[in-house]
């Protein structure tokens, strides 16, 4: 036989339920998941945490106009309802829900107000579902509306101020997650652009110059073949060597443009390819100890590959090294990538002023749950060590 709870007891249960929902919402936000998946989880936790709620829709708005534009995720809605709502927003406008974003205030509205043109199929879906009331809560980031929560309630339930406060707490977390996702996409786009520019420079500095030298060498051979064929042997060897180096260079750059081949060739093979390219391009000795393929997810392998590539570039372009060693070791606990050079070195500090490449390597290592460390001193070369722990 159940025990009836008093009003204070019900309030305690309600608060615990809401706090649990807020904690679950916070744990849903990771960069490994898509924005749509995260907002779908937000909607589910809202419905599970808000008493009397039956559905939740998370929408995004244009920060400039603060008008709702896109349904990001939902829970408890009829099949196809999200698409219906988004079509209605596009054709009939979003005056009802956008007013909450623009005034920065939560409101409870009766769904009978959905009468405007463009909302015909939405209105029919609402009638079939028996929905009558909805709370609209703006998602605000630094005072700017970035989206909204729309929470549908049972006909007999009217959300009070305390419940709206719970929804506002969730919307604040969702707004931060949405903004972080936007910033992450901007950073990724910028990184892609910078990577393309770097490859373009490398093509100009290496492959195009190699092809020009090959052309000159071939012309020299042609001139010598008639007058002194024996003297043509040396420029022929020169052309062959340049062709081999340019081919190695091009293969390495193609690999950079198609990093998904890591899944097929593996990290060790990718690093071995880059080591050979650096050796051929810059005439430095590169020793590669890359025997073991680490049991890491593809994302972590790509991080190690990018760090290794940047360390190799730094060694030849900035440190002016004459010898580089690249090693990859796998233990029962972690994978360690180490790049050591005999270049000019530098004074290693935690802040790395003037060494943006080192900061980038540390940030990349963190993406894989690992760490990057640097050992260096002026005239003593540099050792880059990247440590990535193995999962369960």
Return all residues near 280 (Cβ < 8 A) that are at least 6 apart: 244, 245, 248, 249
Q: 173 and 33: one domain?
A: yes
Whether 352 maps to a domain, the answer reads yes
46 within 8 A of 173, measured Cβ to Cβ:
no
Whether 315 maps to a domain, the answer reads yes
Report how far residue 214's alpha carbon sits from residue 222's, in angstroms, rounded to the nearest whole number.
12
* Count of CA atoms in the C-beta half-sphere (13 A) of 125: 15
* CATH code of residue 104: 3.30.450.40
Domain span holding position 358: 283-392
Report how far residue 68's alpha carbon sits from residue 273's, in angstroms, rounded to the nearest whole number.
49
**Confidence tier at 2 by pLDDT (50, 70, 90):** very low
* CATH code of residue 337: 3.30.565.10
Whether 277 maps to a domain, the answer reads no
Tokens of 248: 């190695």
Task: Let me know if 166 is exposed, middle or buried by CB neighbors in 10 A (0-12, 13-18, 19+).
Answer: buried
Tokens of 150: 């729309």
Residue 54 neighbours by CB distance under 10 Å? 18
Tokens of 311: 């360390």
CA angle 196, 198, 201 (to 5 degrees): 110
Tokens of 272: 């071995």
Residue 202, pLDDT > 80, answer no
What average pLDDT does the segment 208-233 reach?
Answer: 77
**Confidence tier at 335 by pLDDT (50, 70, 90):** very high
Tens-digit pLDDT profile for residues 108-136: 888 776 677 888 888 888 888 888 888 99
What per-residue confidence (pLDDT) applies to 1?
39
Task: Let me know if 336 is exposed, middle or buried by CB neighbors in 10 A (0-12, 13-18, 19+).
Answer: middle
Tens-digit pLDDT profile for residues 177-201: 888 877 777 766 666 676 666 666 6
Report how far residue 392's alpha carbon sits from residue 389's, in angstroms, rounded to the nearest whole number.
10
How many domains would you assign to the chain? 2
Whether 244 maps to a domain, the answer reads no
What per-residue confidence (pLDDT) applies to 318?
84
Mapped onto helix, strand or coil, the DSSP state of residue 389 is strand
Q: 177 and 299: one domain?
A: no
- The packing angle between helices 267-282 and 298-317, to 10°, is 10
Chosen domain end from 185, 200, 235 = 185
Chosen domain end from 153, 185, 217 = 185
Whether 231 maps to a domain, the answer reads no
Pairing of strands 323-330, 285-289: parallel
Using alpha carbons, select from 23, 150, 164, 27 the residue that is nearest to residue 98: 150
The whole model's pTM is what? Answer: 0.49
Residue 325, pLDDT > 90, answer yes
Report how far residue 149's alpha carbon sits from residue 44's, in angstroms, rounded to the nearest whole number.
12
Chosen domain end from 162, 185, 208 = 185
Tens-digit pLDDT profile for residues 68-113: 888 998 999 988 999 998 888 888 787 777 888 888 888 888 877 6
Whether 354 maps to a domain, the answer reads yes
């Amino acid at each position: 036989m159940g025990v009836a709870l008093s009003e204070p007891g019900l309030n305690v249960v309600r608060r615990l339920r809401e706090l649990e929902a807020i904690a679950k919402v916070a744990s849903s936000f990771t960069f490994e998941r898509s924005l749509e998946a995260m907002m779908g989880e937000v909607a589910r936790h809202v419905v599970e945490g808000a008493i009397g709620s039956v559905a939740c829709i998370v929408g995004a708005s244009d920060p400039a106009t603060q008008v709702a534009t896109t349904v990001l995720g939902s829970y408890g809605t009829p099949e196809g309802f999200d698409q219906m709502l988004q079509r209605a927003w596009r054709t009939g406008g979003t005056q009802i829900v956008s007013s909450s974003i623009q005034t920065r205030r939560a409101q409870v509205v009766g769904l009978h107000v959905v009468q405007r043109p463009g909302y015909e199929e939405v209105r029919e879906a609402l009638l079939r579902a028996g929905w009558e009331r909805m709370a609209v809560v703006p998602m605000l980031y630094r005072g700017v509306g970035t989206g909204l929560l729309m929470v549908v309630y049972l006909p007999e339930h009217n959300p009070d101020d305390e419940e709206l406060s719970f929804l506002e707490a969730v919307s604040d977390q969702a707004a931060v997650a949405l903004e972080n996702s936007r910033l992450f996409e901007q950073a990724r786009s910028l990184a892609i652009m910078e990577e393309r520019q770097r490859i373009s420079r490398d093509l100009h500095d290496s492959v195009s110059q190699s092809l020009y030298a090959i052309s000159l060498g071939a012309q020299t051979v042609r001139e010598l073949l008639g007058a002194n064929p024996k003297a043509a042997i040396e420029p022929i060897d020169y052309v062959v060597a340049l062709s081999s180096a340019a081919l190695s260079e091009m293969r390495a750059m193609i690999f950079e443009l198609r990093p998904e081949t890591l899944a097929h060739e593996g990290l060790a093979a990718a690093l071995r390819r880059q080591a050979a390219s650096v050796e051929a391009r810059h005439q430095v000795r590169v020793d590669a100890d890359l025997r073991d393929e680490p049991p890491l997810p593809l994302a972590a392998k790509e991080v190690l590959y990018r760090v290794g590539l940047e360390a190799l570039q730094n060694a030849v372009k900035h440190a002016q090294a004459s010898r580089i060693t690249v090693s990859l070791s796998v233990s029962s606990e972690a994978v360690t990538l180490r790049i050591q050079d005999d270049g000019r070195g530098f004074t290693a500090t935690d802040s790395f002023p003037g060494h943006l490449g080192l900061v980038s390597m540390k940030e990349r290592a963190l993406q894989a749950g690992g760490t990057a460390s640097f050992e260096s001193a002026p005239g003593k070369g540099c050792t880059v060590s990247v440590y990535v722990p193995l999962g369960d």
